[in-house]
Amino acid sequence: MSWIFAQRLARHSIARITRALNDAAIPCPSAADPGRNPRPTNGQWILTTVRAILANPRYTGRQVWNRQRTDHILIDPENTSLGHRDVMRWNTPTDWIISTQLAHPALVSEADFVTVQHTRADRSTAPGRTYLLAGLLRCRPCGRRMEACWAHGRPTYRCRHGHSSATLPTVHRLPNAYVREDHVLPHLPALIIRLTEHRADLNGPAVPPSPAAAVEHLRTEAISLAFDPTTRTLTADTPRGERIAIG
């Protein structure tokens, strides 16, 4: 476990640490001690496991209580006769109870533990890189939000369908979806006209907005667009589901 903290202190990403553990064939907690860690992970480390270790103050040698609580939730709020179900949820660190005395040998110093909580992986971002559509695009096949990336000198958006660099992709996983920002922007004014055509009936003929104004409209109205890599179309998440082709 101390190695995991050392890697994070070296500003390595959680995905990189997870991948290194899997590459070295080091058993994950559920494989090493299935009695205490019953969650099935096929013997592989996953991002949430590494993240939980880095956030657990027990590795400083202190005992910790009240990290989780059990909430009793109605199975169906509209039919209370069905009763409740128990849901385990994490408490915030401010609600944890930490012993003042050491309960076991520490694997990481308190100073290093605190530093890790504020450590982020190194990311080199070139100046001048902007993503006008960040947060607005979703992947139609899987529903996930597309992430911004820089490819071939231009802003691009991609979806890896939940795959992370911590594990190798499976043979059945969908191929990554990519769409260039400059392929989307020229078509947004036409989409905005379709989205607001009911207003044009009252205010006269619609005037196409600029691409920048179109993006601002989508953000103001909280409208996201679902990208279909097969048909090369964008569909608005509105009741009418307006759609445009981007070629």
Over residues 50-109, the pLDDT tens digits come to 988 998 888 999 888 887 788 888 888 778 888 888 887 777 777 878 888 888 889 999
Question: Do 108 and 209 fall within a single domain?
Answer: no
Mean pLDDT of 153-169: 77
Q: Give the count of domains, the chain.
A: 2
Question: Do 157 and 222 fall within a single domain?
Answer: yes
- Please state which of the ranges 66-75, 142-151, 153-162, 222-231 shows the lowest mean pLDDT: 66-75
Residue 144 backbone phi and psi in degrees, to 5: -80, 155
Domain annotation covers residue 141: yes
Domain annotation covers residue 118: yes
Domain annotation covers residue 186: yes
The range of the structural domain enclosing residue 51 comes to 1-61+104-123
| 26 Cβ contact list (under 8 Å, min separation 6) | 45
Is it the case that residue 37 has pLDDT exceeding 70?
no
pLDDT of amino acid 239:
87
- Structural domain ending residue among the three candidates 123, 154, 177: 123
Question: Do 147 and 119 fall within a single domain?
Answer: no
Is it the case that residue 208 has pLDDT exceeding 80?
no
Sorting pLDDT into bands at 50, 70 and 90, what band is 156? Answer: very high
pLDDT of amino acid 180:
95
d(CA 151, CA 180): 9
Higher pLDDT, 33 or 158: 158
Question: Do 117 and 142 fall within a single domain?
Answer: no
Domain annotation covers residue 208: yes
Question: Do 227 and 168 fall within a single domain?
Answer: yes
Is it the case that residue 42 has pLDDT exceeding 70?
no
pLDDT of amino acid 56:
87
pLDDT of amino acid 211:
92
Sorting pLDDT into bands at 50, 70 and 90, what band is 190? Answer: very high
Sorting pLDDT into bands at 50, 70 and 90, what band is 235? Answer: very high
Closest CA to 179 of 219, 226, 113: 226
- Structural domain ending residue among the three candidates 88, 123, 158: 123
Question: Do 113 and 186 fall within a single domain?
Answer: no
Question: Any idea which residue has 């400083």 for tokens?
Answer: 60
Question: Do 8 and 49 fall within a single domain?
Answer: yes
3-state secondary structure the chain: CHHHHHHHHCCCCHHHHHHHHHHCCCCCHHHHCCCCCCCCCCCCCCHHHHHHHHCCHHHHCEEEECCEEEEEEECCCCCHHHCEEEEEEECCHHHCEEEEEECCCCCCCHHHHHHHHCCCCCCCCCCCCCCCCCCCEEECCCCCECEEEEECCEEEEEECCCCCCCCCCCCCCCCCEEEEHHHHHHHHHHHHHHHCHHHHHHHCCCCCCCHHHHHHHHHHCCCCEEEECCCCEEEECCCCCCEEECC
Question: Do 148 and 198 fall within a single domain?
Answer: yes
Question: Do 117 and 5 fall within a single domain?
Answer: yes
Domain annotation covers residue 83: no
pLDDT of amino acid 202:
47
Question: Do 179 and 151 fall within a single domain?
Answer: yes
Question: Do 50 and 142 fall within a single domain?
Answer: no
Average pLDDT taken over every residue of the chain: 83
Domain annotation covers residue 47: yes
Mean pLDDT of 187-196: 91
Question: Do 177 and 115 fall within a single domain?
Answer: no
Domain annotation covers residue 84: no
Domain annotation covers residue 131: no
Is it the case that residue 229 has pLDDT exceeding 80?
yes
